[in-house]
Amino acid sequence: MQVKLFAAALGTLAFVFGISTTLTAQRSAADGARALEGGWVRLDTSGSGSFGGLTANFARAALTPEGAAKLKPQRDPDDVEPDNRPHKAGEPYIVTQGRCGGFGPGGVEPNSAALFIIPARDEVLLTREGPGARHIYTDGREHPPLSRIAPGLGHSTATWENGDLVIDTVGLPEGGVTAGGWRTPETHLTERYHVEDDGMHMRITFTWTDPKIYAKPHSYSFQFERVPADGYAFENWCDSGDPLQRQSVVPPEQLP
């Protein structure tokens, strides 16, 4: 009888210990999710004054000859041909076609709008302050064949590693990559989202791998600051029907 009781107690202990171990493992992902949740704003950490200036400091991509042959100048398809003449103060000029409603392919890199991260059951949702979202599947599914990935933001799956969210993406449309890189649908993008110990800063490390394009993985990081607890998402407004949408800022009077 005593032996049986001891065995039962031992079994119960093992069961409870099993639950507790599982909870500890889950807590790691749950802690990561709690830390990541919310709004984040990209920082210019080098004081370069623009994100273009910031990315100019990144290490350039080491390309294979095949990768280098693919590089083409990139341009926003909405831009119009510049007229290449100086403009007087107060004289606005046309810079874009004013097109709204497109959700540019390959828009995986954050811009100056706040980025919102919503870790939820089965999926982490990455959103900005307008239409569209990145859907990051965390339910264990695999990437479908490239031929079945809809054009746009590729197909992303993710796992939690010590509280970091690690996203793997394939199927992105062909195009340029920051710091002299290139991508095709076959290229893998790994993003690691790491929240610093202070809980207020985050680093996203992008790593592009593709043996056809890169001689070695092409990696760089962006820094973010948390949107304050009482902050909220804005809503970007763009109206193609407004003629001002096409114009530059009005050139100000220049100092002599």
Partner 1 sequence: MKAGFLVVTFIAALSGIVSAQANARDISGYWELTYMDSQHVPRPQLVPRVTRAVLDAQAQKDFKAVRWCNILGMPAIMASPRPLDIRQSEKTIVIAAEINAATRYIYLNRTTHISKDIFDPTTNGDSIAKWEGDTLVVDTIGFDPNKGVTAIPGGGFRTANTHLVERYRLLNNGSLLSVRFTWTDPGVFRTPHTYEFRYARLPRDYEARLPLNCDPFDETRTAFLTARP
Residues near partner 1 (CB under 8 A): 4-5, 8-9, 11-12, 15-16, 19, 33-34, 37-38, 97, 99-103, 116, 118-123, 125, 127-133, 135, 139, 141, 144, 150-153, 155, 229-230, 232-241
For 67, the enclosing helix (H) or strand (E) is: helix 65-70
Is the Cβ of residue 67 or residue 106 nearer to partner 1 in the bound state? 106
CA distance 117 to 39: 6
Tokens linked to 249: 């800022």
CA distance 82 to 99: 17
DSSP state, residue 79: B
Is the Cβ of residue 36 or residue 213 nearer to partner 1 in the bound state? 36
Is the Cβ of residue 30 or residue 43 nearer to partner 1 in the bound state? 30
Min dist CB 41 to partner 1, Å, is 15
Classify 38 as helix, strand or coil.
strand
Is the Cβ of residue 153 or residue 189 nearer to partner 1 in the bound state? 153
Phi, psi of 65 (to 5 degrees): -55, -40
Min dist CB 115 to partner 1, Å, is 12
CA distance 76 to 82: 12
Classify 237 as helix, strand or coil.
coil
Tokens linked to 91: 């004289």
Is the Cβ of residue 5 or residue 255 nearer to partner 1 in the bound state? 5
CA distance 207 to 177: 11
Min dist CB 12 to partner 1, Å, is 5
Min dist CB 128 to partner 1, Å, is 8
Min dist CB 212 to partner 1, Å, is 26
